[in-house]
């Protein structure tokens, strides 16, 4: 983490968990455990129907609210979809795009990820763009070409101003929900590589400023080591973000203190 040039972000991804009635008790339990001075932005990406309740409950605790997906269309006859304008309207500050679960179960393509990213930028919502390789790709030595492709595809036509809104999350598919975390070295290697791609496309300054997160079985025990890596600026956390004590420990691991 290098907080001199970029902000640390700890984002929980609740996936399809929690009810509206769980939110207030969760935040009430979490709040007293939060470090007094947070050196990171804290975000909870919740199911869309829970966004208003999370915004109300999270305000005092300074927890921003994010969504988990957005439509790649502006508006109209797209039953079941939620637009970037609607997310911005309700107050969502972040939105995950291209999560591997959406790529796998909803056939989300790199083109979809690119158009969703564009719509979010247009409406002032920060996209958290997820990239990551499968175990098969890693074992065949295809991690870096795959990441290179995913990053360039997601950011096609995103200009320098748009990039300032973007956050990248490296989530190796084999580490998600498996308890099998990438080692700090493996995670650093790919996050550093992602920064080098940003440098190639946009130059040194944007590469230095963009926050790159690691996700995949990050938890209260391994967070500090992962966050100590120079190119890992935070985490995108699934399972451990459902437990207030674990989530608070991860936030504290960004170097936030209790002065
Ligand atoms: P886990 O932390 O449960 O492995 O999930 C990671 C993830 O998919 C966050 O988006």
The tens digit of pLDDT for each residue in 68-94 reads 999 999 999 999 999 999 999 999 999
Residue 236 alpha carbon to ligand 1 centre in Å: 7
pTM summary value? 0.96
**Ligand 1 within 6 A of CB of 236:** yes
What value does the mean pLDDT take over residues 224-246? 97
Within the chain, residue ranges assigned H as helices are: 20-30, 51-58, 84-90, 100-105, 110-122, 135-139, 143-154, 160-163, 184-202, 204-209, 223-227, 244-252
Distances 117 to 69, 176, 248 between C-alpha atoms, Å: 10, 22, 29
Q: Is the CB of 239 under 6 A from ligand 1?
A: yes
Query: Looking at the annotation, which residues are catalytic?
Result: 99, 171
Q: Whose CA is nearest to atom 7 of ligand 1?
A: 238
pLDDT for 111:
98
In this structure, the residue with its CA closest to atom 2 of ligand 1 is: 238
Under a CB-based contact definition with an 8 Å cutoff, are residues 241 and 247 in contact? yes
Name the DSSP class of 125.
P
- How buried is 61 (Cβ within 10 angstroms: 0-12 exposed, 13-18 middle, 19+ buried)? middle
Binding site membership of 44 for ligand 1 (Cβ less than 6 Å): no
**DSSP state at residue 250:** H
User: What would the pLDDT profile of 21-38 be if each residue is shown by its tens digit?
Assistant: 999 999 999 999 998 876
Least reliable range by pLDDT among 133-142, 204-213, 226-235, 247-256: 247-256
Mutate to test the pocket of ligand 1, among 173, 237, 246 (most ligand atoms within 8 A of CB): 237
Q: How far is CA 174 from CA 28, 99, 167, 181, 245, in A?
A: 33, 13, 21, 8, 25
Query: Can you give the pLDDT at residue 256?
Result: 53
Over residues 231-249, the mean pLDDT reads 97
pLDDT score of 230: 96
Please indicate whether residue 176, judged by its CB atom, sits closer than 6 Å to ligand 1: yes
Torsion over CA of 190, 254, 70 and 126, rounded to 10 degrees?
A: -90
Note whether 130 and 116 are within 8 A (CB).
no
Q: How large is the average pLDDT for residues 149-173? A: 98
> Between residues 201 and 37, which one has the greater pLDDT?
201
| Segment 38-56, tens digit of pLDDT | 679 999 999 999 999 999 9
- For the four alpha carbons of 247, 249, 254 and 258, in that order, the dihedral sign comes to positive
How does the average pLDDT of the chain come out, rounded? 95
The confidence score (pLDDT) of residue 39 equals: 77
Residue 258, pLDDT above cutoff 50: no
Which residues have CB under 8 Å from 214's CB, separation 6+? 169, 170, 171, 182, 187, 191, 226, 232, 234, 235, 236
- CB burial of residue 47 (10 Å; 0-12, 13-18, 19+): middle
Q: Are 240 and 252 in contact (CB under 8 A)?
A: no
170 has which bridge partners? 131, 214
Residue 203 beta carbon below 6 angstroms from any ligand 1 atom: no
For residue 132, pLDDT over 90 is answered with yes
């Amino acid at each position: 983490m290098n907080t001199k040039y970029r902000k640390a972000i700890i984002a929980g991804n609740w996936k399809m968990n929690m009810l509206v009635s769980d939110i207030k008790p969760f935040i009430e339990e979490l709040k007293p455990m939060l470090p007094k001075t947070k050196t990171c932005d804290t975000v909870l990406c919740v199911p869309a129907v829970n966004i208003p309740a999370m915004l109300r409950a999270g305000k005092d605790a300074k927890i921003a609210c994010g969504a988990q997906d957005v439509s790649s269309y502006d508006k109209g006859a797209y039953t079941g979809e939620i637009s970037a304008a609607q997310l911005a309207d309700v107050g969502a500050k972040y939105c995950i795009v291209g999560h591997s679960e959406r790529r796998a179960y909803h056939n989300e393509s790199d083109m979809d990820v690119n158009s969703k990213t564009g719509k979010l930028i247009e409406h002032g919502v920060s996209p958290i763009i997820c990239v990551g390789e499968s175990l098969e790709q890693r074992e065949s030595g295809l991690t870096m070409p795959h990441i290179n492709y995913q990053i360039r595809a997601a950011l096609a036509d995103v200009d320098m101003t748009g990039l300032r809104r973007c956050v990248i999350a490296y989530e190796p598919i084999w580490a998600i929900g498996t308890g099998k975390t990438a080692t700090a070295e493996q995670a650093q290697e790919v996050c550093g590589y992602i920064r080098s791609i940003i440098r190639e496309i946009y130059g040194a300054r944007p590469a230095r400023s963009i926050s790159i997160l690691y996700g995949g079985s990050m938890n209260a025990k391994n967070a500090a080591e992962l966050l100590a890596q120079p190119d890992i600026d935070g985490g995108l956390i699934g399972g451990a973000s459902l437990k207030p004590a674990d989530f608070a420990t991860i936030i504290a691991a960004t170097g936030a203190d209790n002065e």
